[in-house]
């Protein structure tokens, strides 16, 4: 079966503004593709990524290997290989509504980011600020997810208080060969890989496969590190709240690439 997409340079003489910052309003006469593009650009998950721009205006990029635009930051080590570090914050409403699931999601998001960088997860740390019962549930969720992914929770910080809860997690991993959006180039094939055996939550826009994959998730999340070592992949992006097309746009943005996508091959 042929891959669903191929990368290439945009055909316009001058590169368009980054897809992340454009907006479009479809008219009744627009094609289905135009409507899809407009829907992606207006998607809340993608629009929320614009906040990254505020960080880049204040904090200068210091990643020595790949620069900004990836799921994790690269720290080169003298012994060879690279240490990958990343972090995720959970939405306070999600933490308050289902703290155990939020704790699991905090671990999941981090190990997925490490995987997208070609790294094997080595440890998780966290910060929890919440009422005692909420904090305990969140930590329990983190412990369960860490066990499923075979990665230890090695430390963190907790503050018990009766206000709005806050939960963040951070991860460290090791990569023999880093996957980076900066290494995407014209002519490469694009492969979408994910588990479709799961369910969408009714209250928050999250799709979970924990019930179906269980202990197999530890192997799943290490596949990209193997692909990177064997030079089977050069770049990757975790499919996040921006969705498959929005996350693809984020993968293509650093090198101003375009992609031809066979929509019939996308799992929907």
pLDDT at 10 over 70: no
pLDDT at 242 over 90: no
The pLDDT of residue 14 = 37
Q: What is the pTM of this model?
A: 0.78
Higher pLDDT, 153 or 42: 153
Q: What is the CATH number of the domain that holds 180?
A: 3.30.1330.10
DSSP-assigned beta bridge partners for residue 88: 169
Nearest by Cα to 42 from 189, 190, 237, 246: 246
Which 3-state string (H, E, C) describes 133-159?
HHHHHHHHHHHHHHHHHCCCEEEEEEE
Per-residue pLDDT tens digits for 255-266: 889 888 887 887
CB 111 within 8 A of CB 151: yes
Per-residue pLDDT tens digits for 85-139: 999 999 999 999 999 999 999 999 999 999 999 999 999 999 999 999 999 999 9
The pLDDT of 15-34, averaged and rounded, is 50
* Confidence tier at 240 by pLDDT (50, 70, 90): confident
User: Alpha helix locations (H) across 117-222?
Assistant: 132-149, 210-213, 217-220
Instruction: List the Cα angle 65/217/222 in 5-degree steps.
Output: 30
User: How many Å is the Cα radius of gyration of the chain?
Assistant: 19
Strands 82-90 and 166-175: antiparallel
Token pair in block for residue 188: 């490469």
* Confidence tier at 55 by pLDDT (50, 70, 90): low
Token pair in block for residue 127: 């910060």
Q: Which domain holds residue 69?
A: 5-265
The pLDDT of 14-42, averaged and rounded, is 57
How many domains is the chain partitioned into structurally?
Answer: 1
Specify whether the backbone of 5 is left (phi greater than 0), alpha (psi in -120 to 50) or beta.
beta
CB 190 within 8 A of CB 262: no
The pLDDT of residue 205 = 78
């Amino acid at each position: 079966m042929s891959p669903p997409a191929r990368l290439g340079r945009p055909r316009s003489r001058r590169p368009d503004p980054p897809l992340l910052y454009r907006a479009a309003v479809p008219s009744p006469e627009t094609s289905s593709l135009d409507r899809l593009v407009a829907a992606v650009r207006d998607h809340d998950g993608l629009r929320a990524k614009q906040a990254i721009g505020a960080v880049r205006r204040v904090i200068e990029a210091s990643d020595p290997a790949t620069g900004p635009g990836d799921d994790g930051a690269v720290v080169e080590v003298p012994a060879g290989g690279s240490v990958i570090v990343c972090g995720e914050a959970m939405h306070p409403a999600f933490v308050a509504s289902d703290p155990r699931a939020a704790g699991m999601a905090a671990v999941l998001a981090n190990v997925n980011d490490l995987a997208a960088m070609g790294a094997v997860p080595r440890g998780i740390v966290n910060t929890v600020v919440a009422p005692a019962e909420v904090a305990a549930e969140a930590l329990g969720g983190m412990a369960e997810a860490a066990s499923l992914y075979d990665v230890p929770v090695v430390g963190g910080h907790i503050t018990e208080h009766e206000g709005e809860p806050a939960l963040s997690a951070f991860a460290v991993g090791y990569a023999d060969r880093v996957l980076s959006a900066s290494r995407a180039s014209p002519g490469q094939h694009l492969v979408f890989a994910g588990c479709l055996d799961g369910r969408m939550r009714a209250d928050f826009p999250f799709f979970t496969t924990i019930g179906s994959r269980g202990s197999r998730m530890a192997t799943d999340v290490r596949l990209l590190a193997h692909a990177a070592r064997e030079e089977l992949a050069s770049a990757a992006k975790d499919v996040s709240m921006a969705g498959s097309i929005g996350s693809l746009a984020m993968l293509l943005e650093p090198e101003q690439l375009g992609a031809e996508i066979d929509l019939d091959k996308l799992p929907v």
